[in-house]
Structure 1
Amino acid sequence: MKEHDIFIGLMSGTSLDGIDAVAVRFAPTFELLGSCSCELPSTVRDQILTLCTPGNDEIDRMGKLDQTLAQLFADAALKLMATLNLSADQVTAIGSHGQTIRHRPEHGFTLQIGNPSLISELTGITTVADFRPRDIAAGGEGAPLVPAFHKALFSDRQHPRIVLNIGGMSNITWLPADQSQIVMGYDTGPGNVLLDGWISAQQQRSYDAEGCWAAQGNVDAQLLDQLLSLPYFSKPAPKSTGREQFNMAWLQEQMTLCSCTSAPQDVQATLLELTARTISDQIRTFLAEGVSDIFVCGGGSHNQTLLKRLSQLLSPIKVNTTDALGLHPDWVEACAFAWLAKQTLNGLSGNLPDVTGARGERILGAIYPA
């Protein structure tokens, strides 16, 4: 590979709000060349949600959706390339996360769809995908993978930092200033997934813009205690989670167990408090290490009510977004998968065993040549 090679990263997260595409250069210094976001068609979003729901599995539907998503991923890459006037021979590789439809590390598997062979065929660009299974094969959780990228891009030798990604799920990365110390990271629990699911069920809106609806409600302490009793929250790292655990069926079950009759906006306020509490409780374990800054990325970075609550819970720690580090919070994950593609092509590891629990460093991903 050449020093000025360009990589494209593609990401569609648990929130199902769209496909993010970035073009980046990693040498001689990191540079975000451009980015775009492509909304998932509502029909495709509904298909993903159905396929993600345990009990509604059908292999034929998965196979068809695998092709549909690949076309959409390829379209996102081609749209970005057209915007930047890039030809296929100018792009070294595409790193595609794919769409997770089942994450079961406890059973030794994870499944992301969005056929990388078809992406490569449609774009004419080598595509690297299927990053998570190799880590799971080595005994790891397969997630989160972004802490390795956070370490490469955001570490500071003077000050320890925490990077907080709030997507459908939330995960934290602790970046020590002392490079001899281990980087830690794991999923803390739900991010936007329950908030989005509840407002969709109650108001047919895909998300609570800036947390305004949650701000109108009051926290139901009994419901919050019931939700916080889930053993996952006290489980030691390494750990990862997904829609298999945090979904509307689980929420309804918990509301029934505590005989919750709260107004819908109060439930929304309680779900926001759940996200804030489960994040802040975990971050507090690192405060003794001298952390003074937390940098937030992901869709949750736009939820001002949530960020305000995190600031209250973590005071005097400053809560910023990764904008302060030079990378817009919307594009961090897509950049991470462009970086992982680079690692794969260079024959370098993409996982952090202390984060995922794998037996050692592994080269992640499968390469689908142009």
Structure 2
Amino acid sequence: MSATPIHEAERYIGLMSGTSLDGVDAVLAEIGHPGQFRLLQTHYLPYPDTLRAQLLALHTPQPDEIHLAAVAANELARLYADATLALLNGVAADTVRAVGCHGQTLRHRPADGYTLQIGNAALLAELTGIAVVADFRSRDIAAGGQGAPLVPAFHAQALQHPESHRVIANIGGIANITDLPVEGAVRGWDTGPGNMLLDAWIKQHRSAHYDRDGAWAASGTPHPGLLQALAKHPYLKLPPPKSAGREQFNLDWLDTTLSSLGHTITPADVQATLLEFTAMSLCDAVSNECSSAQELFVCGGGAHNSALMQRISARLPNLRVATTAALGIDPDWVEALAFAWLARQTLHHAAGNLPSVTGARGERILGAVYQA
């Protein structure tokens, strides 16, 4: 983060709730131009179990889903507002230019020309008294892009190095990488599952929301046959630009794959295999597409999974592997900080996408603005 004076500095809030469905990451940042920023305050607000269950159910079609999604969007807006007000912690709301809110993704289907994130940005603006920028993905999809990942544009501004070829890996529910070569175009894409399958499997078998430090996975042994079957997922063979979500990687797909093997695998060994699958799909993407990379920096919840970090390091022995903490940004807050930056891009009428990442026909100003 910048330690020098920030020119044309403005305060923005970034809110991120991702495919892990764990809660809301909130940051207050001072952002200037070009690419200067300072993280001022942070706050995390977990989802209530009832809301998490409602959102998970809405990922698949169900009766009266339009009403249920609208009600959930209102509840999300109230939760986002609670996170925002807790984040401010004495900072006057009128000193903040805008809130950048990603919203909660229910469907992401760029092949069908749409994506859906809910959160009722209008209600959030009413509750906080701060302008809200939301619906960042739709304009990129309208321009023929994937609408995701969007954070590589921020990575390019904040984390690119003039002499070292870096890759930034964000491991949330889905894992994605940003390729930051010294010369040439910035690229980025979803590599496959991050924590999504790991979280779902441990929830099903141990009623836990996540596998702390990958301890349960580490107690098992990866199953070669299952890993080979998982690696046949057609998404992995697609060239970038590409993006993924629960539509591609979910428990139904995992159960079908397990059934196709014709024999029982212990739950701990399945968890170990899922962790290896996350590491393998991410590292294969780095090896195949970013062959001259020298450093890999990890952010997102996966950065705290020591077993996963060990497997990534083992699969990429020629790269320096660390978290973004080594670059001065706590890995928990990178995505939320990116959406604070994207809100600034919107209000300054500047592009928020990278066509080399998303495949859009050109640069576009992203987001819809709800004035306070």
Q: TM-score range by the shorter chain?
A: over 0.9
| Deviates most, 66-75 or 253-262 | 253-262
Question: What are structure 2's unaligned runs of at least 5 residues?
Answer: 1-6
Aligned residues: 364
With the length of structure 2 as denominator, give the TM-score of the two structures. Answer: 0.96
> Which deviates further from its counterpart, 238-247 or 57-66?
57-66
Q: Does 2:128 align with 1:123? A: yes
Q: Counterpart of 1:329 in 2: which secondary structure?
A: coil
Are 1:93 and 2:71 an aligned pair? Answer: no
**What is the distance in 2 between the residues matched to 1:302 and 1:156?**
24
Which of 284, 302, 305 lines up with 2:304 in the alignment? 302
What does residue 174 of structure 1 align with? 179
Gap change, CA 1:286 and 1:229, over 3 Å in 2: closer
Distance in 1 (CA, whole Å) between partners of 2:106 and 2:87 is 25
Q: Percent identity, please.
A: 54
CA shift, 1:286, in A, is 4.3
Match of 2:15 in 1: 10
For 1:88, the aligned partner's letter is A
What SS does the corresponding residue of 1:273 show, helix, strand or coil?
A: helix
Question: In 1, Cα distance between the equivalents of 2:62 and 2:132?
Answer: 32
Question: Match for 1:43 among 25, 50, 56?
Answer: 50
Please report how far the alpha carbon of residue 196 of structure 1 lies from its aligned counterpart in structure 2 after TM superposition: 0.3
Residue by residue over 1:32-58, the C-alpha shift from the partner in whole angstroms, topping out at 9 and shown as x without a partner, is 001010010000000000001345671
State the TM-score, normalized to the length of structure 1.
0.97
Q: Check if 1:369 corresponds to 2:365.
A: no
Return the alpha-carbon distance in structure 1 between the equivalents of residues 164 and 290 of structure 2: 12
Contact 1:223 1:260 in 2 (8 A): no
In the alignment, is residue 21 of structure 1 matched against residue 23 of structure 2? no
Q: Residue 310 of structure 1: SS of its match in structure 2?
A: helix
Q: Structure 2 residue aligned with 1:219, among 219, 222, 226? A: 222
Q: 1:53 aligns with which of 54, 60, 66?
A: 60
Shift in Å, 1:244: 1.1
C-alpha spacing 1:54/1:252, structure 2 compared with 1 (3 Å)? farther
Deviations 1:304-337 (A, max 9, x none): 0000000000002111000011100000000000
1:264 aligned to 258, 262, 267, which one? 267
> Contact 2:235 / 2:248 at 8 angstroms: preserved in 1?
no
Distance in 2 separating the partners of 1:56 and 1:257: 31
Are the aligned partners of 2:9 and 2:30 in contact in 1 as well (CA < 8 Å)?
A: yes
AA matched with 1:327: I
Distance across 2 between alignment mates of 1:321 and 1:294: 8
Partners of 1:318 and 1:94 in 2: CA distance: 35
Distance in 1, matches of 2:57 and 2:133, equals: 27
CA contact (8 A) 1:10 1:21 kept: yes
Q: Is the 8 A contact 1:51 1:57 kept in 2?
A: no
Which amino acid in 1 is paired with 2:367?
Answer: G
Aligned partners of 2:262, 2:148: CA distance in 1, in Å?
34
Instruction: Find the counterpart in structure 1 of residue 41 from structure 2.
Output: 34
**Structure 1 residue 236, shift from structure 2 partner:** 0.5
* Maintained 8 Å contact 2:179/2:290: no
Instruction: Give, in angstroms, the shift of residue 153 of structure 1.
Output: 0.3
Once residues 57 and 301 of structure 1 are traced to their aligned partners in structure 2, the CA distance between those partners, rounded to angstroms, is 38
